Structure 1
Amino acid sequence: MASTKPLNVYSGPDAIRKYFDPDTHPPLPLVELPQHLNPFYEDGVRIYAKMMSMHPANNVKIMPAMNMLAKEVVPEKTKTVIEYSSGSTVISLALASRIYHGLQDVRAFLSNKTTLSKLRLMQFFGLDITLFGGPSQPNPLDERGGIQRARTLAQQDDATLNVNQYENDANWQAHVKWTGPQIHAQLPDINIICAGIGTSGTMTGIGQYFKQAKPSVTRLGVCTAPGDRVPGPRSLALLSPVEFPWRDSVDAMEEVGSKEAFGLSLRLSREGLICGPSSGFSLQGLLNYLGKQKAAGTLSDLVGSDGVVNCVFICCDLPYQYIDEYFTTLSTDNFHPIHNQNLAAVDLYRYDEAWELQPTEALSHFADDTTLKPNTILIDLRTPLDFVACQIPGAYNLPLQSVKSSSPSPFSDAAVLESQWRDLEAMLTSDRINAYDLSGKTVCMICYNGDTARVATSVLRAKGIVAVSIRGGYAALRSVYSDLQRGQGGRGAVQEWSKTPTVLVNELRTDLSPSQGFGQNGVPVEVL
């Protein structure tokens, strides 16, 4: 191994190459599980996680990707890399292709049963994606599958490279070169090494390494339970056509289902050892094996010279790209409910503090005695009775059925916010507000406490209408205006705002303009 960077600093024109190169960065962490996560601790068993997900590429596949490309890429000739992969391998191929070979065109063939989050992850990394129907893990030799299609395309075009992780010995040899030696150097007294088997590259590589370097190590492979599916690993039946010498690389096999894999991954992640389902899968296989040995009374046969059974399992992935599958695989008891989840479907538009005016600032939108400035429209969301009882001259009343003086703030009650937002959203899909008529105007929204108007402003802005609201609502605006009038000795507007509904009704009935009409219970209101 080349000299590592003890301070983990990489600089110069080849900094990223060094950063990715296992020969130049410190060994990936080996972390012992705490006692409460190790049910065999009192039996003298110590379990370590080899954190392959801590590589800069965040998955175990980067080392095979680097090794295969180093072997297969033909400089000045290879232009495209294509691979059938469930995600990690082809993402690693994309990264290594760009970093080490300057190849930008990397294409992923994968199952149409791949989750949307994983598809988007691959798009994020710049992959050209083609989906295939049929089994999510096709037989590598099946002419109908994507594995064979990738192989055929490469055979037809010399500029296209299919590294073919299922048959390329550089896949598993990467773990002979890097992973096995790292683990051995970190834990010389290792007794059991465990990994899941998918393409079988990881297990084959570390199995072949320890077969030569320390034959006393028990090599445990883990495959998927029949009829089940865990991202990455395969069932024993699907391993039969794999040509790597994986059978010669294991001493024992265990089968694990998806619930156990996802469940243990979830527990490990919550305890600080963040890892994906394939990692939980490997650990569960190891625990199953240790349980069988203990039941058979043979656990002591695995003890090393230090009097301990030292076990290592491969943490090969992270959970993030599989988040949706945790919720479909595990019961809801594993997750806290989301409070106010009804809000996930409403209040969908942005807010901006600049759209919420302070009461003193709002007064600048009016001329003397609260006469509205040109191109300014004031919409009052209060009930018709409250509107005529106290109003700003020139305002329009657009009452919401969900808004009353006694209503709590929509930001303190999720049900109120949902109801008010739906009412406001419906306004622009009905005849109550015409966005065209409001074009080029500033619409000032006002309500009792300012919060409903703030929601309304968000809705109107989303529809392209220039809208603002008043912080604190009508009460705050009236208070500030009253203070200003008292300070200036003014009385007119204050008196107007203090009239009772009966007085206003009597006055307005005698002189209703064409822009006015009657609201609920015969109360005259402004209408848009």
Structure 2
Amino acid sequence: MAAVNPLNVYSGPDAIQRYFDPDIHPPLPLIEVPQALNPYYGDGVRIFAKMMSMHPANNVKIMPAMNMLSKGVELGKTKTVVEYSSGSTVISLALAGRIYHGVQNCKAFLSNKTTVSKLRLMQFFGLDITLFGGPSQPEPLDERGGIHRARLLAQEDASCLNANQYENDGNWQSHVKWTGPQIHKQLPGIDIICAGMGTAGTMTGLGQYFKQAKPSVKRLGVCTAAGDRVPGPRSLALLAPVDFSWKDSVDAVEEVGSKDAFGLSLQLCREGLICGPSSGFNLQGLLNYLGKQKTDGTLSELAGVDGQVNCVFICCDLPYQYIDEYFDKVGNDSFHPIQNQNLATVDLYRYDEAWELQPLEAISQYSSTDLKTSSTVVIDLRKPDDFIANNIPGSYNLPIQSLTSSTSSPFFDATILEGQWKELNAMLSHNTISAYDLSGKNVAVICYDGDTARVATSVLRAKGITACSIKGGFSALVAQLPHLQMKRAVSFQQWSKTSEVTIQAIEAEPIPRGVLVDAP
């Protein structure tokens, strides 16, 4: 099959229109599923996924959307498109409306049971959303439902077009025009075609196409099991009022539940065929049908001239908007547990390498002999005894309970990080910042090895304080003293000398935990 645009390059003022046009870009991929997901491989069955999700719009509904709008939009008159849709159709209508017809406004009528992630997805694409109560999949003619309300809005406002995927023949005819011919050219030996039925447009179109193009092809429609729900397809009972000739377009119908649909979709994704739950739903329906044929001893009768049973199922969309539902439907046992999950609720603030100073850089910036009257404040997080023994004159001691000279780095131990962050976040409160006049100051934070100070800097920055930590901590500063003595008139050894009087004064009044203590 020769592609009209073999290099798949689109340019010029109509580049996006051509990019979306199925007649111009290469056919969407048709990919055989791995043997691991084909239990009938040994029986001569080959199963292919038609990746409708690989269209630029990433879903099968773009074909109907383009076809319905091409027949419905009136140039200069149509200003708004409105549709009741579970997601993919109305997003596709919004895209096609803007790209091909300049219709910028698209109203999405949705069930109030639509997931937050899907609602946000539609907001992301610029849709104007209205929610409706009642069944999530109302009957098309139910005057209480959103489908009828969309139809009514278009009747009342001539500038508004209701594409109405449930009654618009442009829906199923798009698959006669594009999807069916693509599949047939890609796999002339096709024996079974399978698609889910929501509006039944995809299956009606494919069924009608192969009824004419290759009558030997078995046409399999898949419905949701009664009382269950899978995004997109409907139960057999809910298909009853759909006007499309879907009954004339299928030779068999299978029912599939949501757990199987999500589970098989998950397996497809992990094997490299990235697709949503309705794709797993379609494959499961096909596997159910093949299993019945094998049990009845009729599977070989479905084979074509090559002796194989060549099957195609439709992959409808991508999985990302349904991620939360996968965990609900499939269960946590299908997913690796998250290590260090306790960190998900702590250490929530930003870090920046620019906030972590090398020791010599820190000495240069904070080498004032009168920190009390300058715009610089040094906070020392070490234990009081260690602070008294050696400190930067003018610094404040803010010892934290979860830190000692032997404590591991918080970045190597999730439990330590959790404890230190909670303590620092509580201790470095706005009251503390206000009490010690840290606002507007350049704050340096130091600890034993630098890492706890790095956490404290992140906390202070989140609270609006200009803070930096000293990489390597107090031990790194001490190690840099020889270099400092060569560069500075006032050495760090002179800084860190604490007089006997000061020590006695501090010992006479013990340093309470969590209180800043001024060291002269």
Aligning the two structures, in what range does the TM-score lie when normalised by the shorter sequence? over 0.9
Corresponding residue for residue 40 of structure 1: 40
> What is the letter of the counterpart of residue 196 of structure 1?
G
Q: Deviations over 1:146-167 (max 9, x none)?
A: 1111111111000011111111
Check whether the contact 2:263–2:330 (CA below 8 A) recurs between aligned residues.
yes
Check whether the contact 2:194–2:220 (CA below 8 A) recurs between aligned residues.
yes
> What is the letter of the counterpart of residue 518 of structure 2?
E
Distance 1:272 1:305, change over 3 A: same
Corresponding residue for residue 519 of structure 1: 511
Unmatched segments (≥5 aa) in structure 2:
none
- Give 1:373-412 correspondences, 5 Å limit: 374-412=374-412
> What is the letter of the counterpart of residue 496 of structure 2?
W
Partners of 2:329 and 2:206 in 1: CA distance: 30
Partners of 1:49 and 1:489 in 2: CA distance: 72
Q: Deviations over 1:459-479 (max 9, x none)?
A: 111111111111111111122
- Give 1:94-493 correspondences, 5 Å limit: 94-367=94-367, 374-429=374-429, 431-434=431-434, 437-485=437-485, 487=486, 493=492
Normalization by structure 2: what TM-score? 0.95
Tell me whether 1:507 sits opposite 2:506 in the alignment.
Answer: no
Partners of 2:220 and 2:466 in 1: CA distance: 66
Corresponding residue for residue 494 of structure 1: 493
Partners of 2:210 and 2:435 in 1: CA distance: 73
Partners of 1:372 and 1:263 in 2: CA distance: 65
Aligned-residue offset at 1:434: 2.1
Identity %: 71
Check whether the contact 1:153–1:160 (CA below 8 A) recurs between aligned residues.
yes
Check whether the contact 2:484–2:491 (CA below 8 A) recurs between aligned residues.
no
Partners of 2:366 and 2:11 in 1: CA distance: 61
> What is the letter of the counterpart of residue 450 of structure 1?
G
**Greater Cα shift, 175-184 or 141-150:** 141-150
Q: Which runs of 4+ in 1 moved over 4 A?
A: 368-373, 488-493, 509-513
Aligned-residue offset at 1:6: 1.1
Unmatched segments (≥5 aa) in structure 1:
none
Corresponding residue for residue 78 of structure 2: 78
Check whether the contact 1:428–1:435 (CA below 8 A) recurs between aligned residues.
no
Check whether the contact 1:369–1:493 (CA below 8 A) recurs between aligned residues.
no
Partners of 1:129 and 1:343 in 2: CA distance: 36
Q: Deviations over 1:227-264 (max 9, x none)?
A: 11111011111111111111111000100011111111
Partners of 1:88 and 1:447 in 2: CA distance: 54
Aligned-residue offset at 1:89: 0.4
Q: Deviations over 1:57-111 (max 9, x none)?
A: 0100000000000000011000011111111001100110010001110111111
Normalization by structure 1: what TM-score? 0.94
> What is the letter of the counterpart of residue 510 of structure 2?
F
Partners of 2:213 and 2:109 in 1: CA distance: 37
Partners of 2:250 and 2:186 in 1: CA distance: 21
Aligned-residue offset at 1:511: 5.4
**Greater Cα shift, 406-415 or 34-43:** 34-43
Distance 1:24 1:37, change over 3 A: same
Check whether the contact 1:49–1:315 (CA below 8 A) recurs between aligned residues.
yes
Aligned-residue offset at 1:222: 0.4
Distance 1:517 1:165, change over 3 A: farther
Aligned-residue offset at 1:492: 6.9
Distance 1:106 1:495, change over 3 A: same
